Amino acid sequence: RAFLAFIGTYLSRSNLVYGSVTTIIVFLTWTYVSSIIFFFGSYLNVEYGRRKKAEIEMLSE
C-alpha cells in the first residue's frame, strides 16, 4: 500500500514537471516560428522596395 501511495505521488509530480517542460518547449517553438515569419516578412518588404525603386528608375530613363 505504501508503494502504491509512493507511485501515485511520483506520477502526480512527474506530470507537473513534464507539463512545465512541455510548456517551455511549446513557447520556444512558437517564438522560433514567429521570428521566422517576421524575418521573412521583412525580407519581402525589402525586396518589394528594391523592385519598386528599380521600376521607377527604369521608367524615368
Q: How far is CA 30 from CA 9, 44, 51, 60, in A?
A: 32, 21, 32, 45
What is the distance between the alpha carbons of residues 52 and 38, in angstroms, rounded to a whole number?
A: 21
> What does the alpha-carbon distance between residue 39 and residue 51 come to, in Å, rounded to a whole number?
18
* Total tally of structural domains belonging to the chain: 1
**Among 36, 40, 37, which Cα is nearest to 48's?**
40
Give 43 or 20, the one with higher predicted confidence.
Answer: 43
Could you read off the pLDDT of 2-13 as tens digits, one per residue? Answer: 888 877 777 777
Between residues 16 and 26, the one the model is more confident about: 26
Model confidence at 1: pLDDT above 80:
no
Distance CA 24, CA 18 (A): 10
Domain assignment of residue 33, given as a range: 1-61
